[in-house]
Amino acid sequence: MFWSKIFIPTLKDSPQDAEVISHQLMLRAGMIRKVASGIYTWLPLGLMVLRNIENIVREEMNAAGAQEVLMPMVQPKELWEETNRWDKMGSELLRIKDRHDRDFCLGPTHEEVITDLIRNNVKSYKELPLNIYQIQTKFRDEIRPRYGVMRGREFLMKDSYSFNLNEGSLQDTYLIMRDTYKRILERIGLDYKIVKADSGAIGGEVSEEFHVLAENGEDTIAISDASEFAINTELLLQDGEDINSLEGQDSPDGHGKIIIKKGIEVGHIFQLGKVYSAAMQANVQSQEGRAVDLYMGCYGIGVSRLVAAAIEQNNDDKGIIWPESIAPYEVNIVGIGYTKEQKIADASNKLYTKLTSLGYKVIVDDRKDGYGVKMKDAELIGIPINIIIGNKFLENGEVELKHRNGDSSLTQISDLPTFFDHFKASS
């Protein structure tokens, strides 16, 4: 791909309404553009990152034995009334009417829809356990959309639902999904904590949140300085107690002291039990021939929110520093004088062909702009490796490798394919 052929509308300055660094950088790097409050268009670069994360999520869900479906965005009122959530969800539920004056909503979650699917199509214990997932656009009419795609009204989410015969089977699936989420976040390259949480409007008795640690996180969590213990401060505070008073207290698990951190909730897993299956009469015939209500689990991860969380954790004063697993491009070839020196243009294009054949996602900066402009854009966008082809190449065949982390080195252009081959194998 060539810079001149891709739509990358970068901005020099951050818009005034962009409060946090991820929102600022996504706008400046030409990844998103605002349509309305909490609603954004994803531009080519942003969509590449979104799809990279989506692919990681899909690969890990498939590896865990989950099966992908695609449920409708539009859901009928009648299903939500079966669980008494039509009124319980309040103004957050984005409600619509069709031409026949029938009530629907744009789905914020899909417990009712999936339970309806299973109760009508699964009849025997022999068909269990089941773990069904989708990657779908969700809608929540937030009172105050903020922080760009971190808290929008429209967002991309992976939600999955497990159906089990008993509590033991549900626990097994829950732990599988817990490990799956850990692998997803580790593959993306994020520093995170698993936090004991409140089940809220989803329901159930057991739930945990996955928080990416970041200064601009909306949630305040308490973690131990000597163990993996972490909990939402709302569950730890006593009446009248201030959050700051928790700092330095003994950790409830008996290991170390409490440290207060900010986190971005990117995932939430629940053991729902029979909350939905009992209400909607979702049951199967047991081995003894009795009708038994299903045990359910629910597992959500914010795909679009992960883009913002990754930026919040990986940036500097120049721009984004993408983890290599989700970067829109892995390599940027900067030809200094590309439009003036045919030798530089030829070398850039030849190298592009070679690295692409090795499996790298590569972009060539073929613009007329000077070196300074090209490198500022590359640093803003956060491309991990930049290859500079300029005067040193014309003189002795050398190119400069500049890593987004600040490292740089010189190498012969003829050695680059070997270098990248080894790099690929070790990454």
User: Three-class SS of residue 123?
Assistant: coil
Residue 322 falls within a domain, yes or no? no
For residue 135, being part of any structural domain is answered with yes
Report how far residue 62's alpha carbon sits from residue 265's, in angstroms, rounded to the nearest whole number. 23
Q: What is the pairing mode between strands 331-335 and 362-365?
A: parallel
Q: Per-residue pLDDT tens for 221-238?
A: 988 888 888 888 878 777
Q: Is 42 part of any domain? A: yes
Dist. CA 152–CA 144, nearest whole Å: 9
The model carries a pTM of 0.92
pLDDT given for residue 282 in this prediction:
96
Both 129 and 169 in one domain: the answer is: yes
Structure confidence by residue, pLDDT tens digits, 403-417: 998 888 888 888 877
Number of folded domains in the chain? 2
Is 411 within a domain? yes
Task: Please tell me the distance from the alpha carbon of residue 380 to that of residue 307, in angstroms, as a whole number.
Answer: 15
The answer to whether the beta carbons of residues 223 and 261 sit under 8 Å apart is yes
Are 394 and 248 in a shared domain? no
Q: Rounded mean pLDDT of the chain?
A: 91
Q: How many CB atoms lie within 10 A of CB 361?
A: 15
Q: Which residues constitute the domain of residue 125?
A: 3-316
pLDDT in tens, 58-105: 999 999 999 999 999 999 999 999 999 999 988 889 999 999 999 999
Q: Which run of H or of E encompasses 255? A: none
What is the CATH classification number for the domain harbouring 353?
3.40.50.800
In CATH, what number is assigned to the domain containing residue 96? Answer: 3.30.930.10
121 domain-assigned: yes
**116 and 205, same domain (yes or no):** yes
Q: Is residue 325 part of a domain?
A: no
Instruction: Examine the domain organization and report whether 38 and 148 are in the same domain.
Output: yes
Asked if residue 221 is part of any domain, the answer here is yes
* Residue whose C-alpha is closest to residue 211's, from 162, 257, 269, 155: 269
Residue 323 lies in a domain: no
Is the domain of 179 the same as that of 241? yes
Pair 260, 219 in one domain = yes
Q: Taking Cα atoms as reference points, which of 384, 416, 413 lies closest to residue 398?
A: 413
pLDDT above 80 (res 241): no
Q: Which helix (H) or strand (E) holds 70?
A: none
